[in-house]
Amino acid sequence: MSSNGFSYIIKNLKDLVPVLINSFLEFIPLVHAMESLEGKSFGCMISILHSIYLIVRSIAYGTDKDSESPSSQGGPDAAVWDVNISSTFLKKLFPRFPLNPVDHLSEKDCDRLFDLNMIVAKIFFELNEWTSLPPNLLETFLEFFENALLGKFCRATQSGKAVWEECLVQLLSFIPKFLSRGASSWTSRLLQAFTQTFRESKPGSLMKLACVSAIEDMLTPIESMLSIETSNPENLELQDALLAWIRELPLLLIQLGDKHPTCSQVVLRLQLRIGQCSLLNSSLVCMYDNTQYSLLDFYCTCQGGQICYGPFLRLPRESQELSLCSLYYFSYLDLPILKSIACCCLSADLDPYVLFRIIEVLHSAYRDGHIKIADYLSVFITLVLRFKVSPEIGSAGFKSDPLCQTLKSMTTVLCSYMAQMGDNSLVLQIVEKVVIDQIPQMPSLDNSCSLLRMLVTVDSKPTRLSEQSIIILGQHLSEYLMDAVQCIPEDGDEQGTPSIQLSTQHYYLLPCFFLFDRCHKLMNLVLKRMGSAITESSLSPISDKCTQHTRNCLDRVNAVTSVLFLMHKDAKLQPIMSLFKEDIDNVIHKVFSLKTSGRISTTIEERHEIQCAFERLKILTG
């Protein structure tokens, strides 16, 4: 825990090692002489090796602490002990490595000897971190390590594989350390063997997790080597190994699903780290960018019109955050991955926080040139068009439907980002036709409102909308306006107060009011269409359901009246409406004609309802 404490115990530690090694060597003849390695003897050998390893690790830790603290008194002793322990091991233990099992040993004893050899290898590699041990001895241990990675010591039985995995996991951390010392003739062989182990290990296993951690530790030394000499053959081998690992990550995430969240988080952290490294290393850019196509199944795919959500939606938020952050580091985000992410945003299971985080990350990627403007806007339109609110609510506001509130907030954010793009006329050219083509399809009230808000955001006064767009809007905005006032009645009831209703009505009507202010022709077309709507509703064929027919006609009259009354109350629209007094008079005339013509069968109450609408309309014309 302290440098002084280490300085004190090192004197005792250095005397223990020779004793422990001699005790271990006393067991070696028994390994070859006995038909079976007796359990207590094996346990004692394991304990001795573990004790030696702990001492070696303690010295390593103390030496690191000395280097961090110049005032420490343990440094000189550690340096002397470094030489002593290396010499002791070289003379007594390492020349006997590996401990080879003889033919008559059982499978269980073979596993035990493999366990012993792995601990000896751990001790060797730990010592090799302090000082360069003889090359011939290093060759022996590296060959053993390679064979262990390739599974040559692994028995085909389940228990044999478990022992092999448990032991090998402890050595994987030495590969990054070996690599950090620079490339050598063994670099390629070890990386190939490691890659095979990584590919063949089971998703979610301890081995797979250890491999992913080792890859993360190898990124820094590999990145350093690649930045020095890209034409070096050894560097090409490093690139091949790194490419093989990077390609495996998306498939691994899909295989893990949501069953191994801890392992998924480690993989996602590695993916993010690779993305961050790719910003500074051109060799990594292409490798990393190509993984986005393999990630489609991780987010969402659509096959035959059926949406299939991947593991992303079901992972913990921290893992989702790692995944989203990694998106930013793609040098470009292609349309397929953008569509996949957009589909995730439309899921009712996605936390609203994550939804807005996705939008934020995509905006950062667009702002830094990673997404084409047309693809970026396509995502916006997809979100506002296909985001579903609760069907039983119809309109938002009175019942505080959370999905509808989410759509409203999302539209506000998207419109804000659109306004930040700079050239509104260019943005309008991109989105105009797509948005206008959706209006006749009669999306829900909330989705239509969001589309109109986007259109208004990038339009100007006077309008830049094309003549064809104005005509299409003129044919369909009247229906939208009437639906809005019908879903949100003006008179108070148990669902909400008049002030809340007025605010909600204003939200849905405001985009149209902006359009009317910018284009008087559009207002004229909508007013004419409202007059026609009253006539068409009264001319519907009379059948046994004449009561419903009458109700529908009255609802249409009340809706037109409410829309005109709200338009008249708007300070900007009121003077514009005076320009179209003839069209308003036409609406009034049609309501009066409906009252007196007898085209619909009405009760006293219903006739009174028509009369009230007529009186309200007359106020508009004075």
Could you report the per-residue pLDDT of 529-550, keeping only the tens digit for each?
Answer: 988 888 776 665 544 456 666 7
CB 222 within 8 A of CB 242: yes
Report yes or no on 608 lying in a domain.
yes
Report yes or no on 484 lying in a domain.
yes
Tokens read off for 103: 């033919």
In angstroms, the CA 332 to CA 560 distance is 49
For 304, 381, 430, 466, 469, the CA distances from 433, given in Å and listed in that order, are: 26, 11, 7, 9, 8
Q: What mean pLDDT, rounded, does the chain reach?
A: 83
In angstroms, the CA 547 to CA 605 distance is 13
In angstroms, the CA 557 to CA 568 distance is 17
Tokens read off for 565: 């009354």
Q: What backbone torsions phi and psi does residue 414 show, to the nearest 5 degrees?
A: -65, -40
For residues 137-156, average pLDDT: 82
**Model confidence at 157: pLDDT above 70:** no
Report yes or no on 323 lying in a domain.
no
pLDDT recorded at residue 467: 96
Helix/strand/coil for 59: helix
Report yes or no on 105 lying in a domain.
no
Report yes or no on 404 lying in a domain.
no
Report yes or no on 480 lying in a domain.
yes
pTM of the model: 0.84
Cα atoms in the 13 Å half-sphere on the side-chain side of 384: 28
In angstroms, the CA 320 to CA 70 distance is 43
Q: Which residues contact 239 (CB under 8 A, 6 or more apart)?
A: 226, 283, 287
Q: Which H/E stretch holds residue 266?
A: helix 261-278
pLDDT recorded at residue 544: 45
In angstroms, the CA 53 to CA 568 distance is 87
Confidence of residue 64 (pLDDT cuts 50, 70, 90): low
The per-residue DSSP string of 271-302 comes to HHHHHHHHTT-HHHHHHHHHGGGTTHHHHEEE
In angstroms, the CA 192 to CA 178 distance is 14
pLDDT recorded at residue 72: 43
In angstroms, the CA 131 to CA 439 distance is 74
Tokens read off for 57: 């690790």
Summarised one tens digit per residue, pLDDT across range 168-187 is 888 898 898 888 876 677 88
Instruction: Write out the residue range of the structural domain in which residue 586 sits.
Output: 476-489+498-537+545-621
Query: Domain count of the chain?
Result: 1
**Model confidence at 389: pLDDT above 80:** yes
In angstroms, the CA 92 to CA 77 distance is 22
Report yes or no on 130 lying in a domain.
no
